[in-house]
Amino acid sequence: MDLEINNNIINDILKNKSTQNFIKQLQNYIENNISSNIEKEDISLLNSTHNGNKIISKYRDKMLLERGHILNNYARETLNKGEMYYIYSKNSKMIDGYNLCICKEGQSHTIIEESKESLPNGAKIGSVLRKVNNAYVLDENATKEIEKEIYNMKTRLLEEQNNFLESKRIEGHIYEMSENDGDRAWLFDITSGGNEAVEEINFPIELLQNSNEGDLFAYKDGEYKRNS
């Protein structure tokens, strides 16, 4: 009987909107912080932050595309050093496994799954590899060059993202929430009549915890406020 009562209490708590939002935020924090501390080198474009700044999906996709261009261009310019491979993430199905891509136009979307044992010492996410006598070799110089180019690219696009979002925050405009993701909101600009929801990462978290799809907000004095 006691167990049944406790289960009912737990179910009531889990149905609470604020609790659901808190759990979602906690999951985001674990994914972006605690899990990355397990292997500090596991920093990829799948993470939703850069230098502590949130990245919206629109610019994450841009970063992925530009990363591909950087890799393919560098591989083409250094073709004399051998075919180039890039470690871009951990493999979710293989213990100590990694996902690699071939840095070559038309082949970069092919996923190559390799165990840690098949890779050279020191190889990690972000490493550039070459193949010599059918074995992977770590190209340390290329790794440093690529890391620098990708970092600069992400920093540049982050500034572009900030300018984009700032242009969508218009004083006096009314916005409708189309989605609440726990740490960010997707908003339609009702005043402008736009048909594309903007992913807003600077939405007040306290307001977000008590908001639902269809709620209206006004942008006043540089922040979102519930439309009264």
Task: Using the predicted structure, report yes or no on whether residue 22 has a pLDDT greater than 90.
Answer: no
CA distances from 169 to 103, 222, 223 (A): 39, 8, 8
In this structure, are 202 and 148 located in the same domain? no
pLDDT reading at 29 higher than 60: no
Is 84 found in the same domain as 153? yes
8-state DSSP, 193? T
pTM above 0.85, yes or no: no
Which residue range(s) make up the domain with 58?
A: 49-165
Are 27 and 53 within one domain? Answer: no
Please report the pLDDT score of residue 53 as a whole number: 82
- Looking at the structure, tell me whether residues 122 and 184 fall in a common domain: no
193 pLDDT exceeds 70? yes
pLDDT tops 80 at residue 47: no
- Tokens standing for residue 202: 């600077």
Please tell me the predicted confidence (pLDDT) of residue 13. Answer: 53
205 domain residue, yes or no? yes
pLDDT of residue 194: 83
> Phi and psi at residue 185, in whole multiples of 5°?
-130, 150
Q: What is the pLDDT of residues 52-94, one digit of tens each?
A: 789 999 999 999 999 999 999 999 999 999 999 999 999 999 9
Residue type, 184: R
What is the pLDDT at residue 109? 84
Q: At a CB cut-off of 8 Å and minimum separation 6, what does 36 contact? A: 42, 43, 47
The dihedral formed by the CA atoms of 42, 43, 47 and 48, expressed in degrees to the nearest 10:
150
Report the share of the chain in percent with pLDDT over 70: 78
Instruction: Mark residue 106 as left, alpha or beta (left: phi above 0; alpha: psi -120 to 50; beta: remaining).
Output: left
Number of domains in the chain: 3
Nearest-angstrom CA–CA distance, 203 and 185: 7
Decide if 44 is inside a domain.
no
Kindly state whether residues 156 and 183 are assigned to the same domain: no
**Residue 49 neighbours by CB under 8 Å, 6+ apart:** 32, 55
**Mean pLDDT value across the chain:** 84
Domain annotation covers residue 216: yes
| Domain identity same for 90 and 189 | no
Q: How confident is the model at residue 36 (pLDDT cuts 50, 70, 90)?
A: very low
Place of tokens 């908003």: 187
